[in-house]
Structure 1
């Protein structure tokens, strides 16, 4: 008899696969998550270095990571800094857009066979479950 997988299994498995494929898609363009976050944040337009640093705080696991990632995109010619403001170079825009196309293709692949209504309902259910759990008290 086949094992009946429960929601916890599927949530963990989907999260693992999304992260694994995302890392593969970024690596195909020579990017890691930190560099991607910088490029993607700047894709809407220039930002001050301090605002960008604050916006990416949740993605940084080590305080030294920001300096290393910023140095890498600056040295790689993907980002320029002028008077404390960061912006994408043409090469940075191209790198971002190529990665964004790969990520978009992967998202379409992930939702193949799922209608927009089904996807919206799934998102609503997950959001509702998270809200329920956030306010839940321990069961004794």
Structure 2
């Protein structure tokens, strides 16, 4: 497994992967930025930078997250939430076929190992609140605004 750390507008992203795909992308408030990027991680770094530059709305590098079958099913469902849109935990549970699994779906979202790429930040509470985000709620808010900026119109 190779690892690199890159600077983003939201902190330092850690990216881990190998020839089988990217298995982890996480964010932290600080960390040492890598001087070199391993070849197997270069495409992920490029695409993440393009996302932050508003030049990309989806990702197509190979993913290889580690998790249970249920978690992988939830994460795959997250990939279907369109850029600039949100769904509630309840809607996500219904789509996955079990409305009663809402807590399990929320738990799997919280264990998502692929920050931004598997867009768990697009899942919100039924009342529209920005609930539950492992990367801290201020980052979730930032990401949602980044993906769907409100166009302020002048009245005059």
Question: What TM-score do the two structures reach when normalised by structure 2?
Answer: 0.27
Bigger proportion of residues as helix: 1
Comparing both chains, which one has the higher relative contact order based on Cα–Cα distances under 8 Å and sequence gaps of 6 or more?
Answer: 1
Question: What TM-score do the two structures reach when normalised by structure 1?
Answer: 0.29
Bigger proportion of residues as strand: 2
